[in-house]
Amino acid sequence: MGQRVTAKDVARKAGVSRSAVSRAFTPGASVAPATRTQVVAAAEALGYRPNALARSLIKQESNLVAVVSGNKENMYDMYFFDKLAQRLQRDSKWGLLVHSERDEDINKTLSDALTYPVQAAIVRAGSVDPAIVEQCKRLNVPLIFTGMGQVVEGADSIWCDNLAGARMATDVLIKRGCKKIAYVGGVRQVFSEESRRQGFCQALTDTGLEYHAIVYGDFSYENGFSKGMELLKGKDRPDGVFCVNDAVALGMINAAKYLDIKIPEQLAVVGFDDIPMAAWPCFDMTTVINPVDTMLEAIAETLQKRVDNPEASSMSVVVKPELVRRGSA
């Protein structure tokens, strides 16, 4: 494969200066119409495309936003990142997605991302050392955490009220008349997992009920299916299950179907997140909406506020969840 055609090549072919090529591809720049036509014709003949990154570096505006991800098994996160990329593009920004295999590697992953000329960083994984937060501050790179559920000094935070959402989900099972309600959780010590389990326990305590079972795994469909097979095979099986997220709930529903347990007559299932698959007729899942669009709007607004006022105190936004009732409960 040959080398990329440069503006210098276009200038040589068009018989103009390098700066004339730059002006010809800069909206609003002063350049004679004939010169612009000449440059465009030369560019088309050579297959030239302006280097947007190089041009943005000259302007000191790269429009790159580092997006740090962690949990690959979480279907909600995959959906979130897809929608985030669309939103960034709509705002004339480009997401630089970097993945960390383990939470303990987040600091290195984010530090590596900062070697690129990013305008901001959005982290949806693990925790970050204060030294990295300070590095972002020195580089004038706004840092936004989404999903951590805590205020981080020197950064902005946006998260869903997981505890309130879990109470909503559990209340559905209680009001349905379920007496043996189980909770299938994800990875322990993760903020969303702990908050949702806490909301589950609070809702039961408020009505004088005890949980039937609490089990843990990860945030995947496979975890939901395997835990479903364990919980539902015995005689003393639950009549209601709240799952930490929709992926786990999908696995639970399929385990019930595999064991010929009718939903919701014999087992009511509630998830959390409202990923697109939850609404599929084969699942028809009652779940708590973790509103992606609201989250993205909050990210965009927070980022703009931070750009307008870099020295402002750390900002936090708590997004309210909603319940969507479907056939699984």
In CATH terms, 7-50 corresponds, of 1.10.260.40, 1.10.540.10, 3.40.50.10860, 3.30.360.10, to: 1.10.260.40
Q: Which tens digits make up the pLDDT trace of 175-212? A: 999 999 999 999 887 888 999 999 999 999 999 999 99
Please check the confidence at residue 228 and state whether its pLDDT lies above 60.
yes
**Range list of H helices, 207-244:** 221-233
Q: Which residue has the tokens 């600091």?
A: 107
Q: pTM for this structure?
A: 0.79
| Angstrom distance (rounded) from CA 295 to CA 322 | 13
Mean pLDDT of 214-227: 94
Domain ranges within the chain, ordered by starting residue = 7-50, 64-161+292-321, 162-289
User: Two tokens at 112?
Assistant: 């590596």
The predicted structure's pLDDT at residue 262: 96
| Rounded average pLDDT over 38-49 | 84
CATH of the domain spanning 64-161+292-321: 3.40.50.2300
> At the fourth CATH level, which superfamily is domain 162-289?
Response regulator (3.40.50.2300)
Residue 136: its pLDDT value, please? 87
Identical fold, 64-161+292-321 and 162-289: yes
List, in order, residues 6 or more apart from 170 with CB less than 8 Å away.
Answer: 181, 199, 200, 203, 204, 242, 270
pLDDT digits (tens, 9 = 90+) for 146-160: 877 667 788 899 999
pLDDT at 104 over 80: no
Q: Which of 157, 169, 269, 281 is nearest to 224 (CA)?
A: 269
